[in-house]
Amino acid sequence: MKAAERVKELCELLNEHAHRYYVLDDPFISDGEYDRLFHELLSLEDAYPNLIRADSPTRRVGGLPLDKFEQAKHRQPMLSLENGFTDEDLNEFSDKLKRFLTHQVTTGYSAEPKLDGLAVELVYQQGYLQQGSTRGDGFTGENITRQLRTINAIPLKLVGVAPELLEVRGEVYMKKDGLVELNKKQLQKGLQPFANPRNAAAGSLRQLDPAITAKRPLRFFAYGVSAPEATGCRTQTQLLEYLREQGFPVNRHNLFCPEMSNVIDHFKALAMLRHKLPYDIDGMVVKVDEFSLQDRLGNKSRAPRWAIARKFPATQSTTKLLDVEFQVGRTGAITPVAVLEPVEIDGATVSRATLHNQDEIKRKDLHVGDSVLVQRAGDVIPEVVKALTNLRTGSECQIAMPTHCPACNSLLTKPEGEAVTRCVNGVCPAQQLRTLAHYTSKAGLDIEGLGAKYIEQLFDLGMIQTIPDIYMLRHDLLKDLEGWGDKSADNVLAAIEQAKTPNLSQFLAALGIRFIGEISAQLLEQHFRSLATLQSADKEELLDIDGIGEQAAESLINYFQSEPVTLMLDKLHELGVNPAAAEVSATGLPLEGAVIVFTGTLLQLSRDEAKKLVKDCGGHIASSVTKKVTHVVAGEKAGSKLRKATDLGKIILSEAEFLSLTQGDSI
Among 171, 346, 383, 525, binds ligand IVH (CB under 6 A): 171
Residue nearest ligand IVH (C-beta atom) = 119
Nearest to 435 by CA among 559, 325, 339, 338: 559
Separation of alpha carbons 313 and 463, rounded Å = 48
Q: Indicate whether 224 belongs to the interface with ligand IVH (CB under 6 A).
A: yes
Q: Indicate whether 119 belongs to the interface with ligand IVH (CB under 6 A).
A: yes
Min dist CB 94 to ligand IVH, Å, is: 17
- Show the beta-strand stretches assigned E in 301-456: 307-311, 315-328, 333-345, 348-354, 367-368, 371-376, 383-387, 397-398, 421-422
Separation of alpha carbons 443 and 546, rounded Å = 23
Separation of alpha carbons 308 and 298, rounded Å = 13
Using an 8 Å Cβ cutoff, are 624 and 518 in contact? no
Question: Which CB, 123 or 638, lies closer to ligand IVH?
Answer: 123
Q: Residue count at the site for ligand IVH (CB under 6 A)?
A: 15
Min dist CB 98 to ligand IVH, Å, is: 20
Question: Which CB, 76 or 566, lies closer to ligand IVH?
Answer: 76
Min dist CB 102 to ligand IVH, Å, is: 23
H helices then E strands: how many in the chain?
A: 25, 23
Residues making up the chain, counted from first to last:
667
Among 201, 239, 260, 307, binds ligand IVH (CB under 6 A): 307
Determine the interface stretch with ligand IVH among 77-85, 525-533, 605-613, 639-647 (rule: CB under 6 A).
77-85
Q: Indicate whether 478 belongs to the interface with ligand IVH (CB under 6 A).
A: no
Nearest to 372 by CA among 358, 383, 356: 383
Among 51, 81, 433, 553, binds ligand IVH (CB under 6 A): 81
Separation of alpha carbons 368 and 396, rounded Å = 5
Question: Which CB, 113 or 635, lies closer to ligand IVH?
Answer: 113
Q: Indicate whether 345 belongs to the interface with ligand IVH (CB under 6 A).
A: no
Determine the interface stretch with ligand IVH among 22-30, 33-41, 57-65, 78-86 (rule: CB under 6 A).
78-86
Nearest to 622 by CA among 519, 515, 512: 519
**Any catalytic annotation for residue 114?**
yes
Among 72, 285, 374, 653, binds ligand IVH (CB under 6 A): 285
Among 205, 309, 321, 437, binds ligand IVH (CB under 6 A): 309
Among 21, 80, 230, 457, binds ligand IVH (CB under 6 A): 80
Using an 8 Å Cβ cutoff, are 279 and 219 in contact? yes
Environment class of 588 (CB within 10 Å of its CB; exposed 0-12, middle 13-18, buried 19+) = exposed
Question: Which CB, 80 or 192, lies closer to ligand IVH?
Answer: 80
Among 72, 115, 153, 450, binds ligand IVH (CB under 6 A): 115
Separation of alpha carbons 321 and 362, rounded Å = 15
Separation of alpha carbons 357 and 401, rounded Å = 9
Q: Which residue type is seen at 338?
A: A
Environment class of 475 (CB within 10 Å of its CB; exposed 0-12, middle 13-18, buried 19+) = exposed
Question: Which CB, 81 or 156, lies closer to ligand IVH?
Answer: 81
Among 77, 136, 203, 304, binds ligand IVH (CB under 6 A): 304
Question: Which CB, 153 or 307, lies closer to ligand IVH?
Answer: 307
Min dist CB 341 to ligand IVH, Å, is: 19
Separation of alpha carbons 479 and 464, rounded Å = 15
Q: Indicate whether 79 belongs to the interface with ligand IVH (CB under 6 A).
A: yes
Question: Which CB, 171 or 525, lies closer to ligand IVH?
Answer: 171
Strand order in the sheet with 255-257: 83-84, 307-311, 281-288, 109-115, 255-257
Query: 2, 114, 311, 637: which is the annotated catalytic residue?
Result: 114
Site string for ligand IVH, 120-149 (x = CB under 6 A): ---------------x--------------
Question: Which CB, 143 or 371, lies closer to ligand IVH?
Answer: 143
Return all residues near 286 (Cβ < 8 A) that are at least 6 apart: 90, 93, 109, 110, 111, 112, 263, 307, 308, 309, 310
Catalytic sites, residue numbers: 114
Q: Which residues bind ligand IVH (CB under 6 A)?
A: 79-81, 112, 114-115, 119, 135, 171, 223-224, 285, 304, 307, 309
